[in-house]
Chain A
């Protein structure tokens, strides 16, 4: 009870800081997600036309996904240009994590279209590009968005760890709280991060349902 009240008064006292960190967190996630989408969606569209590339591209994305996040941050720091301490390194790592769910769902969505629909499209005299953009892509959109949703949730989570390499965000409170053995400080980072993830999941889920066809 008193711990709860303590945390609450801590929140109220530091609300400006918490809000700032939350915005910083959102910024990290948004930048990373936009970059990841611009890489993974076109890559998925390209790969679906060339099945030979599928195993390679998904395999590479899988490798990044499998490396523990703190280790990946560690690996990136010594790399020139993209590495070092700070936001840039964090964004590179977050993008690498977000790639796989988006790439995989783009591929699955684009290749999972009813064969009769694709046959009709081809037989009506649609060019391969028209089939891709007017049939495959709109029909795959809900599945692609499901991938983006998964990637966003992962990114919000991993972005808290990015504080360890000086990227800021809500993780700053958590790491500081752990160092100072302060529950209030930990919760000041953990609660907004959890709410952020739930909120993003809800919002993207809503959008996904609206896009689902047939």
Chain B
């Protein structure tokens, strides 16, 4: 099933005039008429203020939410038609604070999707070791630990390893580095960028941090009040005239700890 996703070329994810309102109350529209295509291998960063609908958009991709109007296609197939369980096992998901299972060891956390997919033990163990090394954690030292014995940065590394476990072609990331201290954060951003380039995953990344967007995106999608107001590659993004782009650009100049 997963192989079927990964061999897909063209738009891996596509939003077609998607609206979403809470409890189907049209007045409370969180997403309004979003159309967006994400080709395989793209790294799209959804940028916007709190409440702009970034996370909602992300959750529409793995069918945690279903559109009120329009449709979201993954691999050419509407999320409504997917078995949500199958769909999600082919999509990696990383969130703020990682959401690791506190009663599992690090190794068991990483092995979650393989165990759901009933991989045999040898294959799973090899994969866990491979992934922990990939995110810079020595398996011998970390696989047996509990999440509470890790630092925030280490937990987030485990979160990334867990999301990559079954080698999903798509990676969804919801402010994964948002709760980290600035130094660890910059470190993880750099490493993740290198990792993403190497793995060639299709990534949709949510953030409210323009610097992070500029660093990680192949395309920045700016959201304001549930609508897409600008789409541009990072090198062109800052030149756009839209007022919300200007507002974010201004935050870059006055933001704390940003060199002039």
Contacts and interface: CB of A to CB of B under 8 A. Distances in A.
Interface string A114-126: 1011111111111
B116 A124 contact: yes
A117 B116 contact: no
Contacts of B116: 124-126, 130
Contact of B102 (A117, A125, A126, A130): A117
Nearest to B97: A116
A120 B93 CA distance: 7
Given A116-B96, A116-B98, A214-B147, A122 B64 contact: yes
Interface string B73-99: 000000000001111110101011111
A144 to B, nearest CB: 14
A121 B93 CA distance: 10
A139 B146 CA distance: 14
B193 to A, nearest CB: 23
B146 A117 contact: no
Given A117-B101, A213-B102, A214-B102, A124 B112 contact: yes
A interface: dominant SS: helix
A127 interface: yes
A125 B88 contact: yes
A124 B147 contact: no
Nearest to B109: A120
Contacts of B112: 124
Contacts of A213: 102-103, 146
Contact of A119 (B84, B85, B95, B148): B95
A58 B194 CA distance: 53
A120 B102 contact: no
A192 interface: no
A138 B84 CA distance: 24
A85 interface: no
A214 B149 CA distance: 9
Nearest to B172: A123
B113 A120 contact: no
A30 interface: no
A123 B84 CA distance: 9
Contacts of A130: 116
A214 B95 contact: no
Nearest to B159: A120
The residue among B96, B99, B172 with the most chain A CB atoms within 10 A of its own CB is B99
A168 B42 CA distance: 75
A124 B86 CA distance: 10
Contacts of A138: 103
Contact of A124 (B88, B146, B148): B88
A212 B72 CA distance: 41
A138 B116 CA distance: 17
Nearest to A134: B101
B100 A117 contact: yes
Given A214-B147, A214-B148, A123 B102 contact: no
A134 B91 CA distance: 20
Nearest to A118: B99
A196 interface: no
B52 interface: no
A120 B103 contact: no
Contacts of B147: 214
B99 A214 contact: no
B101 A125 contact: no
A116 B146 contact: no
B62 interface: yes
Interface string B49-87: 000000000000010100000000000000000001111
Interface in B147-184: 147-148, 159, 162, 172
Contacts of B95: 116, 119-120, 123
14 contacts: A116-B96, A116-B98, A116-B99, A117-B99, A119-B64, A119-B95, A121-B99, A125-B84, A125-B85, A125-B86, A125-B89, A127-B85, A139-B101, A214-B102
